Amino acid sequence: MAIDEDYQSTWNKVATIPGEDCEIDVWANDERPYEGTDSDKLGIWGTVVGVDMDECIGDGACIDACPVEVFEWFDTPNSTASKQKPLMLREPECIICRACESVCPVQTVLITED
């Protein structure tokens, strides 16, 4: 299922994950709770660079496409959809080119300009 394009207005920020010189927001709601990075309930991560971590199949197209290396692989061993995901480790470096969004085969990436 594609990422919920309204997640920033209809979901809640429930946690943060350390990035490189930034904090990455974690978003969840009643139907899609967050239960920790080592769980199978991950929610959506990121604000400028949003990824639905439960739906992400971890094919890595976004990591390869990013011209400024925003992403790094992150282990999610208990996720049903994939055991690794793209962590937006350097989210503030995003230049809003939307390459990651357009190459994602399952539409789980959403770029949001400030």
Nearer to ligand SF4, 53 or 66 (CB): 66
Our CB check for ligand SF4 shows the closer of 26 and 99 to be 99
Spatial separation of the C-alpha atoms in residues 109 and 49, rounded to whole Å: 7
Rounded to the nearest whole angstrom, what is the least distance from the CB of residue 25 to ligand SF4 in the complex?
A: 15
Binding residues for ligand SF4, per CB under 6 A? Answer: 49, 65-68, 70, 94-100, 111
CA-CA distances (angstroms) from residue 85 to 75, 76, 81, 108? 7, 7, 9, 11
Residue 14 or 68 with smaller CB distance to ligand SF4: 68
